[in-house]
Structure 1
């Protein structure tokens, strides 16, 4: 990988050089400490100790979520994980998360999992995380970079895995939470957990509402999550988890630059609104038998979306109503075999993913019925050498077959029973070694893929269905530090072929397979515990997203900021009080329609500040928090040149109280 090409024109890369120049003698007191806490994370789709976590993974704990005052899972990923999020198009808190600069299609280039179950939809929709009560989350794991071997299509940018509370501690515990704030913000939550012998259960419910920062931006949602578990031996358990959510939202719509500068809170779509109903049931089982670990999930999810838009044509007001009824069933059995081979530990993981996704559409412009079946087999083998170098070498492969059917009598021309089959392969090779105590270097290479979804094929630039998107992935990195401070730096490159993207320059606009493109850049994550009370952490991503072939060669991809820098300062002098301050700066980026890079303007850069202070009084905790404290006017979504702008929220102050029992 050509580092000079990556860093060209990026003076902000100086922190990387400084970080890598830290002298080892200066770190000696740190390196003498234990490197990682003894906690479980998700390895190759099985629980492992933190020392065997996926290379380059970021883990967000429940305590960090609470301390930062994140009101939902999406906000926790953005605020604590440093993941860039693009303002939602409706009034929901479900920002489009972007790992490694995939712009408008970022949601289709990362996989979101909940308790081992895929949450992505086979359509052009942002993965909905707000339906997961934040108090039910045990941890969030973020793995950046190509991960198709273990997680299938759409994992080129990486994987976000949300793990809900399943551990059954003896006794009864729970909490009550209430928060209010500007824009008639309301957030009410309750959680309860109980364990007795091998049985345990937990439940969490929340009710939230806001009038929104903009006009016609009301949002209301209720959500429930509950689980029942039976554990009969260490590493062996079975259970059931149910999630249900109902949401209603208004659609404030987009603004032109002139309207935005005049009043960023304005809306010209005051009659547009929609709803989302979601239900998910997940059965899981884990069994340990000697050197084997067996696990499986069987899940079913139902999602119903309704959208209502009002148009005025020739002075006549018209209502356009659409409903999308989607269902997904997944069965994912897998096994792990662990053994000692000549003094080295070998771990073999193999599994099957069977997924059926269906959607029925009823609208004025479509009666499309779609179905997709996917069948995948994957295998991954990892060999570990112990001290003095603690080396790891892993190789994996995946084969996946897709069957798509689609029909729509209202399409032009009409589509009757269109059926296609597509098969794809992924592979990965990764390794790491401790060159010195506390200094680890690692490398990853592989192939990942994505297939076109039903919406992309429904509005395509070709007679046949779009071709699958493939990526050659490469990553080099290092991690240095221990219990007091740690720094990780990664160089990455994704060379894409047939990237699936909406091209506004084709006729009236259509989805197509682009000429060759590339994402390459640098990621840095670091933290330092200055004293037991003070902790500073931060993330920085620099990414070049550009065409490498065709008539657009050398031009930048749209809606991708080159730099995203996040930092958090936490103060926890004891249980009685805590404070948390966060800052994020986002670089300028091309407007969504600017494929030719000829628009005379760019989406401006911006910085936001959020903070929270909490005080404990026995079983009570009261807190005050604020978002966008400097009250900056900014936007991260704009689909035309100086138009199609979706303004982000202004300053919001909130007050909360929590009671733990």
Structure 2
């Protein structure tokens, strides 16, 4: 608590220091509209906790991909999924690195990236150059997005540009990246095109077969919008991604401490992804008060491992809504449908979701009140040559919020949310291993219960000409939180658990040359009761959750054209990902990385160079004792040029 008090005091000093500053508002600190919860609101007047990142923030960051940006600049914890850099684990609000990504709904222009199984959202298929805005909504969003939004949602909005942009970069460990985008905006249509390639030779030694942990990604996208008449918009888009990666296995603690680059006498895992997305949609502005929206998405994916195991995914989803506005009242109601199928050589498993929802916001002078309700059904079916299994769940979400404007600079808000997570299809199966942790097969785990959460958020927003502060405290009570029990090799539920914490964001424009940014989270996650663990987990901390997490960034405009940036990431130590009984000898080491960069502008051409992990910190992901995946364990550098035309 002393650290929280100190950080709050520092933010207060920031605010006080600007009390006599010029009244001209810095455009980077101005309120922005947030749309992730479906009803557009200025972020300072939102009835929930929101963290916003803009295209300009992304450009200045020098991040190499979306995972890199979220890890270094947001409050989201990001770690490669058991070594896989293309399908990384996400966590916020203390759900743990193992299952955290399943409690966050990630959307891109309304399309869900969440999978029907335990595979994380594939953010590698989202080109960083295409992003206009990243909205991170915490502890809310279950009415808007339903299944899996207990921790919140990450809503990504891509940009409509006029002209073109080119980015070319190269760096250590054989890294290279090329991306090009172009856009045309006319009265009757807009057209956006993008292509991106990224490569790396890897960071670890060759395995015993001579393979390196290299990677290669390719993304292409095209978006077309037509405006045939007033009030009518027709949308169509196509995306294609090819991702090929090889990643290393775990190390023991002595191996990790001696040399995290080594292969430990093991072979690496190879995996290829192909993703094909088609989408169509339309919006009809019937009159000044009524708007209709309809979007339909088809997503087909293949995931194949070097062992020959192939999984094929076929997702079909529809999102249909009616928006009505009259004076100070906005109402949005709609239906969302999802049909997801995963097929392999042995079985076909499906998960179908169908939901209806309604949301409303009412503005009364300086007060905004929001309310929403959602009813969702999840259907499952497993088919093999000898077995047919079926199950379903009916689930409810609701949300209540209020934002009160205290002054021109200060607003306070409160939000109460109920969310849920229906089990993914992998939760119905048990993974079987031998004594040497070699995978030998699967068995039927049994259908498990959906999880439910109730979260309260209390927060404030303070905006001054040179300072933007957001602070929130939260408490979440959970029933049947879903997890994998490593002692029994089965998927099951934590009967009762809770989480609480505080979050702080502060942007301070100290002068025309100097800007400071702070993003801090304090999180506790406690298992209250877990009957299937025979009481061994009761009262224990949830593993894989760092109590403290912070990113601190400083940007200095050294000249009219050149700027320096330094960014520090720190996450405190945590329990290893499988340590539910809190009795492992080894803990997750504190994550530490210092990054520096310089950018120089030459009109519409800019050059940049950056060094990540400047002090060569050895970071890793601890699964259990002597099972460590090296992560960001060596110094790397990148340099590139960016041009607009």
Work out whether the TM-score is over 0.5. Answer: yes
1:58-207 correspondence runs (5 A):
58-103=51-96, 104-166=98-160, 169=162, 173-207=163-197
Q: Answer with 645-654 or 345-354: which moved more.
A: 645-654
> Partners in 2 of 1:349 and 1:75 — Cα distance?
35
Q: Using the TM superposition, give the Cα deviation of residue 137 of structure 1 relative to its aligned residue in structure 2, in angstroms.
A: 1.1
TM value normalised by structure 2 = 0.91
> Partners in 2 of 1:538 and 1:17 — Cα distance?
11
Map of 1:347 onto structure 2:
330
Map of 1:442 onto structure 2:
413
Q: Answer with 62-71 or 195-204: which moved more.
A: 195-204
CA gap of 1:79–1:397, structure 2 versus 1, over 3 A, is: same
Alignment check: 8 A CA contact 2:558 2:564 kept: no
Q: Which runs of 5+ in 2 are unaligned?
A: 206-211, 432-442
Q: Deviations over 1:34-74 (max 9, x none)?
A: 69637543154255555555632111111110110112122
Q: Deviations over 1:452-499 (max 9, x none)?
A: 111111228986400000011111111222231021111111111111
Q: Using the TM superposition, give the Cα deviation of residue 573 of structure 1 relative to its aligned residue in structure 2, in angstroms.
A: 6.0
Map of 1:297 onto structure 2:
295
Alignment check: 8 A CA contact 2:577 2:622 kept: yes
Q: Using the TM superposition, give the Cα deviation of residue 592 of structure 1 relative to its aligned residue in structure 2, in angstroms.
A: 1.9
Instruction: Select 1:565's aligned residue among 529, 550, 563.
Output: 550
Map of 1:313 onto structure 2:
none
Map of 1:643 onto structure 2:
627
Q: Per the alignment, in what secondary structure is the counterpart of residue 308 of structure 2?
A: strand
> Partners in 2 of 1:574 and 1:250 — Cα distance?
42
Map of 2:470 onto structure 1:
488
Q: How many residues align?
A: 618
CA gap of 1:23–1:39, structure 2 versus 1, over 3 A, is: closer
Alignment check: 8 A CA contact 2:47 2:414 kept: no
Map of 1:285 onto structure 2:
282
> Partners in 2 of 1:206 and 1:57 — Cα distance?
30
CA gap of 1:67–1:422, structure 2 versus 1, over 3 A, is: same
- 2:508 equivalent to 1:531: no
Map of 1:315 onto structure 2:
none
> Partners in 1 of 2:269 and 2:15 — Cα distance?
60
1:84-483 correspondence runs (5 A):
84-103=77-96, 104-166=98-160, 169=162, 173-215=163-205, 216-231=212-227, 236-267=232-263, 268-288=265-285, 289-308=287-306, 320-340=307-327, 345-362=328-345, 367-386=346-365, 390-409=366-385, 416-459=387-430, 464-483=446-465
- 2:2 equivalent to 1:11: yes
> Partners in 2 of 1:646 and 1:361 — Cα distance?
30
Q: Deviations over 1:251-283 (max 9, x none)?
A: 211111122122101124335311000111121
Q: Answer with 117-126 or 23-32: which moved more.
A: 23-32
Q: Deviations over 1:94-144 (max 9, x none)?
A: 431211111110110100000011110011111111111211111111111
> Partners in 2 of 1:335 and 1:37 — Cα distance?
30
> Partners in 1 of 2:16 and 2:569 — Cα distance?
32
Q: Per the alignment, in what secondary structure is the counterpart of residue 261 of structure 1?
A: helix
Alignment check: 8 A CA contact 1:110 1:155 kept: yes
Q: Using the TM superposition, give the Cα deviation of residue 577 of structure 1 relative to its aligned residue in structure 2, in angstroms.
A: 2.3
Q: Answer with 418-427 or 564-573: which moved more.
A: 564-573
Q: Answer with 268-277 or 295-304: which moved more.
A: 268-277
Map of 2:438 onto structure 1:
none
Q: Per the alignment, in what secondary structure is the counterpart of residue 426 of structure 2?
A: helix
Q: Per the alignment, in what secondary structure is the counterpart of residue 250 of structure 1?
A: strand
CA gap of 1:31–1:549, structure 2 versus 1, over 3 A, is: farther
Q: Deviations over 1:141-195 (max 9, x none)?
A: 111113211111111111001111236x5xxx11222111110001011111112
Q: Per the alignment, in what secondary structure is the counterpart of residue 135 of structure 1?
A: helix
> Partners in 1 of 2:140 and 2:603 — Cα distance?
46
Q: Per the alignment, in what secondary structure is the counterpart of residue 64 of structure 1?
A: helix
1:485-524 correspondence runs (5 A):
485-506=467-488, 509-524=489-504
Q: Per the alignment, in what secondary structure is the counterpart of residue 599 of structure 1?
A: coil
> Partners in 1 of 2:631 and 2:13 — Cα distance?
41
CA gap of 1:494–1:51, structure 2 versus 1, over 3 A, is: closer
Alignment check: 8 A CA contact 1:33 1:482 kept: no
Alignment check: 8 A CA contact 1:243 1:279 kept: yes
> Partners in 1 of 2:405 and 2:13 — Cα distance?
17
**What is the aligned-residue RMSD (CA, Å)?**
2.3
> Partners in 2 of 1:431 and 1:617 — Cα distance?
46
Q: Per the alignment, in what secondary structure is the counterpart of residue 629 of structure 1?
A: coil
Q: Deviations over 1:614-650 (max 9, x none)?
A: 1122332111111111111111x22112324344341
Alignment check: 8 A CA contact 1:182 1:652 kept: yes
Q: Answer with 15-24 or 538-547: which moved more.
A: 15-24
Q: Using the TM superposition, give the Cα deviation of residue 430 of structure 1 relative to its aligned residue in structure 2, in angstroms.
A: 0.8
Q: Which runs of 5+ in 1 are unaligned?
A: 1-9, 309-319
